[in-house]
Amino acid sequence: MILFALLIAVACGCGKGEDKKEPVNDPKLLLGFSQIGAESAWRIGNTRDIEEQAENYRVSLMLENANQKQENQIAAIRRFIAYKVDVIAFSPIVEDGWDNVLLEAQKAGIPVILVDRDVSTEQEGLTACVIGADFYREGVMAAEYLLRKADALGLETLHIVEITGTENSTPMRQRQAGFMDTIAGDERMTILESIDGDFLKSRGAECMRSLLESYGDEIDVVYSHNDEMTLGAIPEIEKAGLIPGKDMIIISIDGGQKAIDVLKEGKINCVVECTPKLGKELMETALKLKAGEAVEPVIHPTEQVFSDEQDPNGIAPRGY
């Protein structure tokens, strides 16, 4: 057993520069987890939280980082099946394309937990549950802030650009749908363009440059699906001679410390929280599945909105 745990630690012991985790002694459960990558502060915070909670719950964690590639996630899940882990968990980068590997897990009798994002499969019942944010609600909260802001400023027209997350991912689809459904019917609101920023800071900057080239100071609102893209976009707005937070209303999602600091500077108007702290729920759910107990099909954490409507100095340190 010790040799097995060591082999796992070596096989999955993460990439360069990452701490090597000591294998958990006498683990209660062996959990294989395929993480998407390290594209954002959110993602890095999520990985750290899952590692910490695995230790707290005495769960032996096989953690694999897929470097933003679905094929790496599929290969990792196949390795977890070959190792005969007790439970498999993964954060699917996109919703489609998982049917085959999930059927293989089902045939092997290994329960699968979705963390953070959801999948869309032809067959029902291939996964036990999803533990992640209500992304639709996040989009609604972002739009509700915008409606309040438009009222407060007495604005009659608002030209909006949307920088979206990874195409076909659950947060991209749902954050867009919640936002669009909420502003629909409000005649003040016009979407100039939605552009794919892939949740990356570099892409956020590129997207903003291209939007500024097309629309210049016509843009009144930037709705960005995550903090990284927002933090990439803001310097581009400044380079164009415009003041983010004043000339343009800036709305972001995640609530990492960097974005909160920029909110305090007044360059972001609103950040909808999306908590990466899903590790505790993950461990508790995995232990229940191993014990053959029933689990909730959907577990959403509660989330809040940080904005210029409140005193930003009252926001507690975010920890990610």
**Binding-site ranges for ligand GYE (CB under 6 A):** 39-40, 42-43, 116-117, 133, 171, 199, 226, 228, 253-254, 274
DSSP per-residue string spanning 12-52: HS-STTSPPPPPPSS-SEEEEEEE----SHHHHHHHHHHHH
Q: How many CA atoms lie within 13 A of 47 on its CB side?
A: 20
Tell me which residue has tokens 């940080």. 306
Closer to ligand GYE by Cβ: residue 40 or 285: 40
Closer to ligand GYE by Cβ: residue 23 or 37: 37
Closer to ligand GYE by Cβ: residue 182 or 226: 226
Closer to ligand GYE by Cβ: residue 150 or 305: 305
- For the bound state, the minimum distance from the C-beta of residue 30 to ligand GYE, rounded and expressed in Å, comes to 25
Closer to ligand GYE by Cβ: residue 29 or 94: 94
Q: How far is the C-alpha of 226 from the C-alpha of 204, rounded, in Å? A: 9
Nearest Cα neighbor of 279 from 55, 64, 14 is 55
- For CA atoms 180, 183, 186, 191, the dihedral sign is negative
- For the bound state, the minimum distance from the C-beta of residue 253 to ligand GYE, rounded and expressed in Å, comes to 6
Q: How far is the C-alpha of 125 from the C-alpha of 122, rounded, in Å? A: 10
Neighbouring-strand partners of residue 163? 195, 224
- For the bound state, the minimum distance from the C-beta of residue 179 to ligand GYE, rounded and expressed in Å, comes to 14
Closer to ligand GYE by Cβ: residue 117 or 203: 117
- For the bound state, the minimum distance from the C-beta of residue 43 to ligand GYE, rounded and expressed in Å, comes to 5
Closer to ligand GYE by Cβ: residue 111 or 255: 255
Strands across the sheet containing 112-115:
59-65, 29-35, 87-90, 112-115, 129-131, 298-299
- For the bound state, the minimum distance from the C-beta of residue 81 to ligand GYE, rounded and expressed in Å, comes to 24
Task: Identify the three-state secondary structure at position 106.
Answer: helix
Closer to ligand GYE by Cβ: residue 39 or 86: 39
CA 282 to chain centre: 15
- For the bound state, the minimum distance from the C-beta of residue 249 to ligand GYE, rounded and expressed in Å, comes to 20
- For the bound state, the minimum distance from the C-beta of residue 189 to ligand GYE, rounded and expressed in Å, comes to 23
DSSP per-residue string spanning 165-215: -STT-HHHHHHHHHHHHHHTT-TTEEEEEEEE-TT-HHHHHHHHHHHHHHH
Closer to ligand GYE by Cβ: residue 104 or 196: 196
Neighbouring-strand partners of residue 313? none
* Dihedral-angle region of residue 121 (phi above 0 means left; psi in -120 to 50 means alpha; beta otherwise): beta
- For the bound state, the minimum distance from the C-beta of residue 64 to ligand GYE, rounded and expressed in Å, comes to 17
- For the bound state, the minimum distance from the C-beta of residue 8 to ligand GYE, rounded and expressed in Å, comes to 26
